Amino acid sequence: MKFFSKLATSALTGLAVLGFASSAFAQGPKIQEGSIAAHATLISAIERAGVNVIINDPYCDESWTGLMGFYAGKERVLVVCQDNRVDGDPTPVEWTENDLDTLRHEAQHFIQDCMIGTNHDHSLHPVYRFPVKYAESVLGIEGLKEITRVYRGNGASEETVILEFEAFAVAANNVPLEQANDVARYCR
């Protein structure tokens, strides 16, 4: 836990790389959905809800992981491993579309963690009433087959695959402001 806490400040540095000072989180002028400002708003909402957003945690450098990011509910940590990071250097770099997609994907897992049990217990549940239908409408049947192949191939349960369907679909929809609202609604 100390390891993660020590790196929590990198999230704010990451937001500076996004081009926003902390005062940009206030809902002043209209923020466009899907914009960099919208992603900064999502990070702020996650952190207000008690989860540390860490950019380029040293765990990202482990060659065997191939991680783009992860959410660890019990540790209250959401990590984004940026595409263009320099190994061994946790300094955030310019965000790619994939980095932002990873943020949205992992944010959805955090929101799923708020749906049942207690916040941060890592008991995840879909947010959408019909997550498979929703995911199919966004990703198509071939997208769902590929997610199923990869996750089932790694031993994931059917429940986990459904959670991944939803997280991939929400990330693909690129609605970080909607996700920020869900964080405020479900994760207080």
Whether the pLDDT of residue 21 is over 50: the answer is no
Q: How confident is the prediction for the chain on average, in pLDDT?
A: 86
Mean pLDDT to the nearest integer, 156-163: 97
Q: What is the rounded distance in angstroms from the CA atom of residue 3 to the CA atom of residue 54?
A: 11
In order, the DSSP letters of 42-73 are HHHHHHHTT-EEEES-GGGG-TTT--SEEEET
Least confident of 15-29, 69-83, 154-168: 15-29
Phi, psi (degrees; rounded to nearest 5) at 100: -65, -40
pLDDT at 143: 98
**Exposure of 179 by Cβ count < 10 A (0-12 exposed, 13-18 middle, 19+ buried)?**
buried
More confident call, 19 vs 120 = 120
Residue 65 confidence (pLDDT): 64
Convert the pLDDT of each residue in 34-45 to its tens digit: 999 999 999 999
Strands 77-80, 69-72: pairing is antiparallel
Contacts of 169 (CB under 8 A, 6+ apart): 131, 134, 135, 137, 138, 139
- Tell me the whole-structure pTM to 2 decimals: 0.85
- Name the residue with higher pLDDT: 89 or 132: 132
Residue 63 banded pLDDT, cuts 50, 70, 90 = low
Share of the chain above pLDDT 90, in %: 72
